[in-house]
Amino acid sequence: MSSTADSAVDTSTKRRDRTHFLYIAVIAAMVLGIITGALFPELGKNLKPLGDTFVSLIKMLIAPIIFCTIVLGVGAVRKAAQVGKVGGLALGYFIVMSTFALAVGLVVGNFVQPGEGLTIPTTPTAAPAESKTTVEFLQGLIPDTLLSSLTSGEVLQALFVALLVGFALQKMGKAGEPILTGIKHIERLVFRLMAMVMWAAPIGAFGAMAALVGATGLGALKNLALLMIAFYVTCIVFVFLILGTVLRMVTGFGVWSLLKYLGREFLLILSTSSSESALPRLIAKMEHLGISRPVVGITVPTGYSFNLDGTAIYLTMASLFIAEAMDKPFSIGEQISLLVFMIIASKGAAGVSGAGIATLSAGLQSHRPDLVPGVSIILGIDRLMSEARALTNFAGNAIATVVIGTWVGEIDKEKAARVLAGQDRFDEASMLDHEDDPAVGDDGVPPDREPALSGGPR
């Protein structure tokens, strides 16, 4: 290993350690908030502004996050579409599975109803807006100016403009590449801001949990525990039963053997709460499994923006929980509308720990602004749920790569069988985990693994 490589590994280790510190701090703050709320209820209630302020910081970043991720997501569609069959199959599969995951979250949330019986007292706000006709709703999607869509706080306007800009950049072809590159840099800036804001999460979690327990008593913890358990069980069932069945029917391989092969990547994700930390390793391991470079190079990076099964389940279940806890449940029509919005808004939320909270806030802001303050209710346990989101996202993308490779006939099944049986081991010594490794491009694909337009299984 070169000194550069050693430095990269050392830097990565420090970054993981810092993430663990934040994780521990949030848990400690949550416990302290519970104790404060239980022993000093009035003080706990008075600490509610701490949680509300943190949610306000998240809301500040919603519009730019939505704009950047959607514009770049549409750009990814254009790139994937250029390679024809593989790109089309990948996009179709991702849209179907993420939509199905959102629907599963709605079904489980309605069945379990973890927020039932938990009535959170809310601060009186402005009177709710009157219901709009369809024409008024559509007219409201158009902002006064192009830039005002990012400053007005209207999430659907930001989404509408982002789609327009994305499609316009598609039409521009190569002339639009510099603009996409600029938006990518803006996205990195916004996510850097998000990472900075997340360091205030322990303060927000302390205030939110103290206020929750102070207002409702320790019984509220049962509801939060039920939500967390239901979410974890749903993710496990989704991966092993639904995705596992798809994998077995299409490829003949068992899901457990594939997940065991990716064991080190799962440990890396647990240490960072983000599936993107394992992106370069997933690309390398999928190639080692016998899937061709074009399929891996197209499917994996695109899946990281369009195939977020764990995030999808979380968004719908958390939305229903907040609505029930605030005694303002969604109607069936609002649930369907929320699902449609989340199908689009969830794209690109895999990059940074904390983006799930931002996307959840965006969905509530667009449909039920009166529920946005309720995001602070789950702030304390969101960090505990982020690992399940990231692990489910990663497992979904790994399974998708094998499935799509099988569909297009670009997998060496004999080699895959040997790899999954442990007979052909992956060379761990040649891999780096560091996201800034110079050997890895912006899309997470090392130069020697860039997708080509032809080539067979390795």
- Inter-axis angle of helices 62-81 and 48-60, nearest 10: 40
Instruction: For residue 291, report the phi and psi dihedrals to the nearest 5 degrees.
Output: -90, 140
pLDDT of residue 138: 66
More confident residue, 87 or 455: 87
Residue 241, phi then psi, degrees to nearest 5: -90, -55
Q: Is it the case that residue 452 has pLDDT exceeding 70?
A: no
The whole-angstrom separation of Cα 111 and Cα 393 is 23
Cα angle for residues 52, 31, 351 (degrees, 5° grid): 60
Convert the pLDDT of each residue in 205-238 to its tens digit. Answer: 788 778 877 777 776 778 888 888 999 999 999 9
Looking at residues 345-353, what average pLDDT do you find?
A: 53
CA atoms within 13 A on the CB side of 378: 36
Mean pLDDT of 316-338: 82
Non-local (6+) Cβ contacts of 388 within 8 A are 231, 232, 235, 310, 314
The residue that leads in pLDDT, 69 or 33, is 33
DSSP-assigned beta bridge partners for residue 291? 411
Summarize the confidence of residues 55-67 as an average pLDDT.
Answer: 76
Mean pLDDT of 359-364: 76
Q: What per-residue confidence (pLDDT) applies to 9?
A: 40
Cα 147 to Cα 166: distance, rounded to the nearest angstrom: 15
- Give me the numbers of helices (H) and strands (E) for the chain, helices first please: 20, 0
CA angle (372, 378, 382) in 5-degree steps: 115
**CATH T-level topology, domain 3-123+130-449:** Proton glutamate symport protein (1.10.3860)
Say if residues 32 and 40 touch (Cβ distance below 8 Å).
no
- pLDDT of 70 > 50? The answer is yes
Environment class of residue 127 by beta-carbon count within 10 Å: exposed (0-12), middle (13-18) or buried (19+)?
Answer: exposed
Domain ranges, ordered by start, for the chain: 3-123+130-449
pLDDT at 321 over 90: no
- The string of pLDDT tens digits covering residues 247-280 is 999 999 999 999 999 888 887 677 555 666 677 7
Closest CA to 189 of 85, 24, 314, 61: 61
> Would you state the pLDDT for residue 258?
92
**Quick one: pLDDT at residue 425?**
81
Mean pLDDT, range 151-178, rounded to an integer: 78
